[in-house]
Structure 1
Amino acid sequence: MLVENMTPQQLAEACSAVLHERDYAAQGMDINIDEVAPGYAKLSMQVRKDMLNGYAMSHGGFMFALCDTAFAHSCNTYNKVTVASGCTIDFVAPGFEGDTLTAIAKERTRSGRTGVYDITLYNQKDEELGYFRGKSYQIKGSVIPE
């Protein structure tokens, strides 16, 4: 199907699929794309033993990477290549081996070439583990060739 014939939902799903196909880091972390919509993404992964830090907790870098990946999927749903111009995370609770972590990304604002996205990180008990804020910047190009 041609990009111009897609609904916004179809376009968001197609962009997410293309991003995931190219994202070897996300594939290596076994990140799953659970849900996507324009300006929104829900991704998950299971914490493996090789993702633990020296305190047997989920390494913050892996938690950040899951949130960053959800951020990428949410801000690239419009078929405009969009990258991070900055992001922060606040960890409020740890994850542990075997936990399923879920990052839910929501667009807060998008204007011109910039946007702001908030991502909340949960475990399988719906406990909040972290808060990530990403600032996006649209560059040249499209995710799916037009």
Structure 2
Amino acid sequence: MSVARSGQVTFLRPAVLGDELVARATERGRFGRNGIYDVTVTRTDGVVIAEFRGQSRQAQS
């Protein structure tokens, strides 16, 4: 089990009602019990709306 440790969202452009948004996530790396993840949110025409970077922490077993 993992929990969110921190996260930051940078909004680059506004979305408007009716926009279809796509989020693509990538695990950038895992180091021991820590992980880093990037998510890019785009409109279907490829315009980037937002970027998210999150960090996770895995529970001790």
Q: Provide TM-score, normalisation by structure 1.
A: 0.40
Aligned twin of 1:125? 45
- AA matched with 1:121: V
Aligned twin of 1:90? 10
Aligned twin of 1:100? 20
Q: Which has the larger radius of gyration?
A: 1
Return the alpha-carbon distance in structure 1 between the equivalents of residues 14 and 3 of structure 2.
27
- AA matched with 2:45: K
Structure 1 vs Structure 2 CA RMSD: 1.3
Aligned twin of 1:115? 35
**Structure richer in strand, relative to its length:** 2
Instruction: Please give the per-residue CA displacement for 1:74-115, whole angstroms capped at 9, x wherever unaligned.
Output: xxxxxxx11110000100001111111111110111021101
Task: Give, in angstroms, the shift of residue 124 of structure 1.
Answer: 1.4
SS at match of 1:110: strand
Aligned twin of 2:59? 139
Q: Unaligned 5+ residue runs, structure 1?
A: 1-80, 142-146
SS at match of 1:84: strand
Return the alpha-carbon distance in structure 1 between the equivalents of residues 17 and 60 of structure 2.
40
Number of equivalenced pairs: 61
For residues 33-52 of structure 1, the aligned pairs below 5 Å read none
